[in-house]
Amino acid sequence: MTTSPDEPVLLQEVMMLLALRPDDTCIDMTVGLGGHTAALALATAPDGRVLGLDRDAAALALATKRLASLGGRVRLVQASFAHVAEVAAQENVRDVAGILMDLGVSSMQFDDHERGFSCTQDGPLDMRMDARQTLTAADIVNGWDVDALTNVLRDLGGEPMAGPIARACVRRRVKALFTQTYELARVVSGVYYARGWRRSKVHPATRVFQALRMAVNDEAGELRAGLASAWQLLKEGGRIAVISFHSGDDKVVKEYFKEQCLRGAGTLLQRKPLTAGAVECARNPRARSAKLRVCQREGDA
């Protein structure tokens, strides 16, 4: 997402490729702090509608204040984008011209130690995007067996030390359950130090925390469901833009768009994903890993 509420990632590229017109209806599936949402509302003025979804109540509250001046043209709802079809039906949103999904975790979420997303700040081992759900990162680390932990760390985080770290977590939780982020980060660091790791700019627990966050929030399942639901809401000629920050997410998006194109229902607007330029990356380091893919609906084959 962004390091600043005023600086959404790849904004110019998103707006150029969505090519929204005045009075269009569009959906922001990941409102965050509302940067992209505000741009969508501006592009569809004076009477266009913007439906915005986000699982994070705290982010949605800030976005609501930011977008208050836009009045009834913007409707924000706390919901997972996997449920966008139900929300759109409830809000009487149809014939959608443009949809945006900006995946990943915002800087605001990383910076809030109480959320437990960061391995460099101590806080509860939580990682829930939506505090209404029950599963937390602590539940996984304390309750899943070695094989399940290993699979999550390897498959979702690309963690090369998945097995040793999973075994170290199981040994540690016999003595005391994990409750804080620093407790887990120390165990992971210990595994790396024992194998000759030396300090670098990237914390050794980064991939572990990524994997746990993705598991807690079922990010892969949510993404697949969200893409399928969003596609059905697009009118013919409507476009969906997806910004991903993780190779696994980008692969899911790439394969979904390819499937639509192969059956004649979609057209890719660019062969390869767009990435942020040097100026944006220097201003916003998180933009370095961003990839933007856009597909246009042509009607079902």
Please write the tens of the pLDDT for every residue from 59-93. 899 999 999 988 889 999 999 999 999 999 999 99
Among 3.50.50.60, 3.40.630.40, 3.40.605.10, 1.10.150.170, what is the CATH number of 131-216? 1.10.150.170
Please write the tens of the pLDDT for every residue from 250-286. 999 999 999 999 999 999 999 999 999 999 999 988 8
Please write the tens of the pLDDT for every residue from 150-200. 999 999 999 999 999 999 999 999 999 999 999 999 999 999 999 887 777
Check residue 84 and give its pLDDT: 97
Domain residue ranges in the chain: 11-108+219-297, 131-216
3 confidence band (pLDDT: 50, 70, 90): very low
Please write the tens of the pLDDT for every residue from 109-163. 777 888 888 999 999 999 999 989 999 999 999 999 999 999 999 999 999 999 9
Residues whose CB falls within 8 Å of the CB of residue 148, separated by 6 or more in sequence, listed in order: none
- pTM, entire model: 0.90
Q: CB atoms < 10 A from the CB of 36, how many?
A: 29
Tell me the C-alpha distance between 10 and 31, whole Å.
15
- For 231-242, give one letter per residue: b (16+ CB within 10 A) or e: bebbeeebbbbb
Please write the tens of the pLDDT for every residue from 35-45. 999 999 999 99
Check residue 106 and give its pLDDT: 72
pLDDT over 50 at 12, yes or no: yes
Residues whose CB falls within 8 Å of the CB of residue 171, separated by 6 or more in sequence, listed in order: none
Strands 266-268 and 291-297: antiparallel
Please write the tens of the pLDDT for every residue from 225-253. 999 999 999 999 999 999 999 888 999 99
Instruction: Give the strand order in the sheet containing 49-54.
Output: 74-78, 49-54, 25-28, 96-102, 234-244, 291-297, 266-268
Among 3.40.50.150, 3.40.50.620, 3.30.1950.10, 1.20.1530.20, what is the CATH number of 11-108+219-297? 3.40.50.150
pLDDT over 70 at 16, yes or no: yes
Check residue 1 and give its pLDDT: 40
**pLDDT exceeding 70 applies to what percent of the chain?**
97
